[in-house]
Amino acid sequence: NAGVTQTPKFQVLKTGQSMTLQCAQDMNHNSMYWYRQDPGMGLRLIYYSASEGTTDKGEVPNGYNVSRLNKREFSLRLESAAPSQTSVYFCASSEGNRGRGQFFGPGTRLTVL
């Protein structure tokens, strides 16, 4: 099992460009999440999907959109990138209702110039 996979691993954008971060999990998990991690700020939840067909805002949703394409895949889109969105982005998944924790992908390091 690959667990949680993310693409791309690295990306450099110019201000105003758009891009989509892809995430997939093969653990048959119900819930999926997008976080960003910045120095001194810890992990901050951007959006999550408690189950297929549902999405909800997290702590820092502005400037982002998400799509839960199916049970396996959850994408994060930046429509018009800003330097403040320079960060490391992690996708995670969990069973959702068992309290057994979330499992993280390897991350995408994004730089917006």
Partner 1 sequence: QKEVEQNSGPLSVPEGAIASLNCTYSDRGSQSFFWYRQYSGKSPELIMFIYSNGDKEDGRFTAQLNKASQYVSLLIRDSQPSDSATYLCAVTRGARDDKIIFGKGTRLHILP
What are the residues binding partner 1 (CB under 8 A)? Answer: 31, 33, 40-43, 48, 50, 90, 94-107
CB contact at 8 A, 108 and 10: yes
- Distance, in Å, from the CA atom of 23 to the CA atom of 107, rounded to the nearest integer, reads 10
Contact 66, 73 (CB under 8 A): no
Cβ 94 to partner 1, closest distance in Å?
Answer: 4
The least CB distance from residue 25 to partner 1, in Å, is 13
Residues in the chain: 113
Q: How far is the CB of 67 from partner 1 (least distance, A)?
A: 18
Of residues 11 and 17, the one with the C-beta less far from partner 1: 11
3-state helix, strand, coil in the chain (%, to 5): 5, 50, 45
Nearer to partner 1, 47 or 64 (CB): 47
Least distance in angstroms from the C-beta of 88 to partner 1: 9
Which amino acid makes up residue 97?
N
Token pair for 109 = 């390091």
